[in-house]
Amino acid sequence: MRTTKQLSITLPEEMAKELKSRVASGAYASESEVIRDGLRALFARDNAVEAWLREEVAASYDELRNDPSQGISAVDVRAHLAQVHRERLAANES
């Protein structure tokens, strides 16, 4: 039984050129191989984001709910970022 499925896809011109370029360079044996590698990378990224959300973001959220005093207001965050920005601008001018 066949373990692959043939598809027809449409790509923007630049992506199609890059796809063909990767095959022509010898980095990949076929256009399908490039697409498969790209999808594997996409799935790996999605899995990494999901794991980060579950393991780190959810834990941080739970900690903040348990102790709201650890939080920083949006006003304070904006003020801090504005100060950092001003300092970087000043450093670049010198």
What is the distance in angstroms between the CA of the first residue and the CA of the last residue of the chain?
Answer: 69
Per-block mean pLDDT, blocks of 10 residues, the chain (94 long): 89 97 97 97 98 95 92 95 96 87
pLDDT at residue 50 in the model: 97
Provide the whole-model pTM: 0.66
- The residues, any chain, with a CB within 8 Å of residue 29's CB and separated by 6 or more, are 23
Query: How far is it, in rounded angstroms, from Cα 47 to Cα 93?
Result: 42
Query: Computed from CA positions of residues 35, 36, 40, 46, in that sequence, does the dihedral angle turn out positive or negative?
Result: positive
Return the pLDDT at 2: 76
Amino acid 94: pLDDT: 77
